[in-house]
């Protein structure tokens, strides 16, 4: 990978032996390993048994889970917040596991629409709740730095599964 990064640096007209660029290929390789570490994880290992019995039947929500990912079309970052809600069906999940699930899917090459659905489906599969809702709100550097160059645009995607009251969920987010 480092040799390919050197080729990219040379392609844009830079000198790979320049002081500031000598170690760049190694740093880029390490960055990509970290930013794509979600490929080495699965939901079961992320949850790690943190599923607990609960008689509760009211919506559980975690808002403003920060995330960043890489757009699979341009390999540029997109970042924002994820909001998750679910209605338990005998089981609840440890609160910290929801952000970990978000991070697992975010640390892959992604499109926001698929990531939203993947998070909802993973929670649905592991907990079997009565319903689950996920909303992602993100800014995409591929829209900010290139293309249309719209600095303040925010993309919102939503996925709901099961018997989930989307309007109630959205009212809590807003």
Q: Over its length of 174 residues, how does the chain's per-residue pLDDT go in tens digits?
A: 999 999 999 999 999 999 999 999 999 999 999 999 999 999 999 999 999 999 888 999 999 999 999 999 999 999 999 999 999 999 999 999 999 999 999 999 999 999 999 999 999 999 999 999 999 999 999 999 988 888 899 999 999 999 888 888 888 888
Q: Is the pTM of the predicted complex or chain greater than 0.85?
A: yes
| Three-class secondary structure assignment of the chain | CHHHHHHHHHHCCCCCCCCCCCCHHHHHHHHHHHHCHHHHCCHHHHHCCCEEECCCCCCEEEEEEEEEEEECCCCCEEEEEEEEEEECCCEEECCCHHHHHHHHHHCCEECHHHHHHHHHHHHHHHHCCCEEEEEEEEEEHHHHCCCCCCCCCCEEEEEEEECCCHHHHHHHHC
Q: Which domain holds residue 17?
A: 2-35
Number of domains comprising the chain: 2
* CATH of residue 156: 3.30.1130.10
Say if residue 64 is in the same domain as residue 147.
yes
Q: Looking at the structure, tell me whether residues 13 and 53 fall in a common domain.
A: no
């Amino acid at each position: 990978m480092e040799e390919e990064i050197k080729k990219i640096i040379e392609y844009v007209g830079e000198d790979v032996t320049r002081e500031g660029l000598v170690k760049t290929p190694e740093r880029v390789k390490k960055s990509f390993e970290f930013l794509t570490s979600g490929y080495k994880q699965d939901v079961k290992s992320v949850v790690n048994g943190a599923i607990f019995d609960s008689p509760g039947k009211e919506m559980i929500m975690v808002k403003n889970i920060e995330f960043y990912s890489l757009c699979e079309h341009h390999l540029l970052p997109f970042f924002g917040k994820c909001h998750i809600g679910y209605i338990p069906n005998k089981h609840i999940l440890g609160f910290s596991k929801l952000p970990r699930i978000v991070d697992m899917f975010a640390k892959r090459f992604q499109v926001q629409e698929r990531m939203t659905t993947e998070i909802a489906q993973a929670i649905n599969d592991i907990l079997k709740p009565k319903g689950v809702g996920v909303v992602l709100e993100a800014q995409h550097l591929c829209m900010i730095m290139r293309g249309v160059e719209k600095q303040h645009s925010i993309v919102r995607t939503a996925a709901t599964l099961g018997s989930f009251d989307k309007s109630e969920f959205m009212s809590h987010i807003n």
